[in-house]
Amino acid sequence: MKKIKVGVVGIGAIAHIFHLPNYRNHPQVELVAVTDLDTDRANKAADEWGAKAFASADAMFRDAGLDAVSICTFNTAHAALAIKALEAGLDVLVEKPMTATVEQAEQLHRAAEQSGRILMVGMSSRYRNDVRAMKGIVESGELGDIYFAKARIIRRRGVPFGWFTSKELSGGGPMMDIGVHALDAVWWLMGMPKTDKVMGKLFHKIAPYHTKTGGFYEAMSSNNKENPVYDVEDLGTAYLTFDNGAALTVEASWAVNGVQDDAMKIELFGTKGGASLDPLFVFKEANLIPVESRLDIEGNDYYKEEIDHFVQCVLHREQPVSDVSQGLEIMRMLDAIGRSSEKNDVIRLLD
Ligand SMILES: NC(=O)c1ccc[n+]([C@@H]2O[C@H](COP(=O)([O-])OP(=O)(O)OC[C@H]3O[C@@H](n4cnc5c(N)ncnc54)[C@H](O)[C@@H]3O)[C@@H](O)[C@H]2O)c1
């Protein structure tokens, strides 16, 4: 059985929870190399996961004999590392958000096109059974044309600890961190139309807070450990319109005075029916009577399925379900949301 050699850059929380175990357990992968700015962490992880630690990403890309790499660093380091990996002839799985800025996204897009290598963006929600079931329902035509949608991930108190709250390291707040999951999933479900106009509003009203419960995600890196820097929003909201006439709203918060709910919520409104998540409901009419069905979908290990998909793409030279062009369009939306908020004006992305 053919096996690919894989390395991981950035051995923090998400690498430990998701990339390292799923690579190590994959029958067609040899997890051979790791690297991190924190060399102690890289050495420790190398022992734990049976890989070799490299002093730098450059050395790892050059000397480890890799086929593919995962980039799991702070958002602002994604683009430069992914470009170097592509130039070294490697296929790349880059964590979300694809980059920290739209300029970096354009550079990465160009590098991926020129290299002919695979660039997959880690949009993990697309591998959820319920999201995939929703996609199947949309594609069957059962809902008709989807003309409006809503997506949100709302945490009442859930600022992550670490670099996420420093714009220099993250590129943005909850819209960039968790809103990207909701925005990507709903846009994918709607058939990925081209973005026309964007009206965004980012608020910074509550964080950092002194509430006694809260923050549950903690980055492993020591940067901005106790969140001394907090220069991003705590609530992001936006209204986007598309070239096919459809529109969507998206909301993402780490802190808001409302109901605590960390789940990704999506509503699709179509001409023949609608659907909502989570749980998954379908709304239709039968004999002129409104009916709703709740679909019983078993949860799945969608991080594992994301890695399986990346490995399949590398082995069989297939385009990933979330590719670099789509990552660029999502970064255009996120950038336009930020600019619209700053200017208090609508941003037009179509000429
Ligand atoms: N898919 C998901 O649901 C999900 C969940 C959490 C985090 N993430 C993403 O994963 C990425 C990492 O987040 P995390 O929570 O693991 O952070 P983390 O702080 O725990 O880990 C990041 C690691 O990257 C290292 N690093 C940073 N820059 C580097 C560089 N230039 N070269 C080598 N190493 C470098 C740091 O030293 C640190 O060990 C982020 O992009 C984040 O948005 C995705």
Atom of ligand 1 nearest to the CA of 15: 16
Does 11 contact ligand 1 (Cβ within 6 A)?
yes
**Among 138, 351, 135, 340, which Cα is nearest to 239's?**
340
pLDDT of residue 214: 63
> According to the model, what pLDDT value does residue 51 have?
98
264-284 tens-digit pLDDT: 999 999 999 999 999 999 999
Is any atom of ligand 1 closer than 6 Å to the C-beta of 38?
yes
Fold of 4-125+304-313: Rossmann fold (3.40.50)
Ligand 1 centre to CA of 340 (Å) is 28
56, 72, 167: residue to mutate for ligand 1 pocket, most atoms within 8 A of CB: 72
Q: Give CATH 3.40.50.720 domain extents, the chain.
A: 4-125+304-313
* Digit-coded pLDDT (tens) for 84-135: 999 999 999 999 999 999 999 999 999 999 999 999 999 999 999 999 999 9
Q: Where in the chain is the domain with CATH 3.30.360.10?
A: 128-302+331-348
3-state DSSP of the chain: CCCEEEEEECCCHHHHHHHHHHHHCCCCEEEEEEECCCHHHHHHHHHHHCCEEECCHHHHHHHCCCCEEEECCCHHHHHHHHHHHHHCCCEEEEECCCCCCHHHHHHHHHHHHHHCCCEEEECHHHHCHHHHHHHHHHHCCCCCCEEEEEEEEECCECCCECHHHCHHHHCCCHHHHHHHHHHHHHHHHCCCCCEEEEEEEEECCCCCCCCCCCCCCECCCCCCCCCCCCCCCCEEEEEEEECCCCEEEEEEECECCCCCEEEEEEEEEECCCEEEECCCEEEEEECCEEEEEECCCCCCCHHHHHHHHHHHHHHHCCCCCCEHHHHHHHHHHHHHHHHHHHHCCCEECCC
Closest atom of ligand 1 to 220 CA is: 20
The pLDDT score that the predictor gives to residue 215 is 62
Q: Tens digit of pLDDT for each residue in 216-227?
A: 788 998 889 888
Q: Is the pLDDT of residue 9 over 90?
A: yes
pLDDT of residue 329: 98
pLDDT reported for residue 187: 98
- pLDDT number for residue 117: 98
pLDDT, residue 342, reads: 98
Q: Which is more confident, 262 or 78?
A: 78
Mean pLDDT for 201-206 is 98
Average pLDDT of span 45-70: 98
Homologous superfamily of 128-302+331-348: Dihydrodipicolinate Reductase; domain 2 (3.30.360.10)
Calculate mean pLDDT across residues 317-341.
Answer: 98
CA distances to 113, 121, 189, 256 from 152, in Å: 32, 20, 14, 13
**CA-closest candidate to residue 115, choices 68, 154, 152:** 68
Tens of pLDDT, residues 206-215: 999 888 876 6
Q: What percent of the chain has pLDDT over 70?
A: 99
Q: Give dist(CA 162, CA 159) in Å, integer.
A: 9
- First-to-last C-alpha distance (Å) of the chain: 50
Give, in degrees to the nearest 5, the angle at Cα 104 between 86 and 332.
120
CB 123 less than 6 A from any atom of ligand 1: no
Ligand 1 neighbourhood includes 14 CB (under 6 angstroms): yes
Distance CA 346, CA 177 (A): 23
Mean per-residue pLDDT over the chain, rounded: 96
Structure tokens given for 43: 């050495």
Residue 95 beta carbon below 6 angstroms from any ligand 1 atom: yes
Binding site membership of 221 for ligand 1 (Cβ less than 6 Å) = yes
Q: Give the dihedral of Cα atoms 303, 306, 307, 313; nearest 10 deg.
A: 180
pLDDT of residue 272: 98
